[in-house]
Amino acid sequence: MSLYDWLITYIFNGIDTTAYGDYVVITLVIIAVLFVGLIIKAITGLLNIFIR
């Protein structure tokens, strides 16, 4: 969980700063959304394989 903790501190440090921090938070949110989407696609693909 060290990487997760580092991400949280990184996000909060980004929020503390000015516009640059906002850009960091936005990019991290976009990366997180894409990552979650890939995970959901992988899970649904595996479920389709198991259902068939």
**Is the distance from CB of 14 to CB of 24 less than 8 angstroms?**
yes
Both structure tokens of 24: 């960091």
Whole-structure pTM over 0.85, yes or no?
no
Flag whether pLDDT at 17 surpasses 60.
no
**3-state DSSP assignment of residue 42:** helix
How many whole angstroms separate alpha carbon 27 and alpha carbon 6? 16
Return the pLDDT at 10.
74
- Predicted pLDDT of residue 51: 83
- Picking from 6-10, 15-19, 42-46, which range would have the lowest pLDDT averaged per residue? 15-19
Asked whether residue 37 carries a pLDDT value surpassing 90, the answer given is yes
Those residues with Cβ within 8 angstroms of residue 20's Cβ, 6 or more apart along the chain or in another chain: 14
Residue pair 25/11 in contact by the 8 Å Cβ criterion: yes
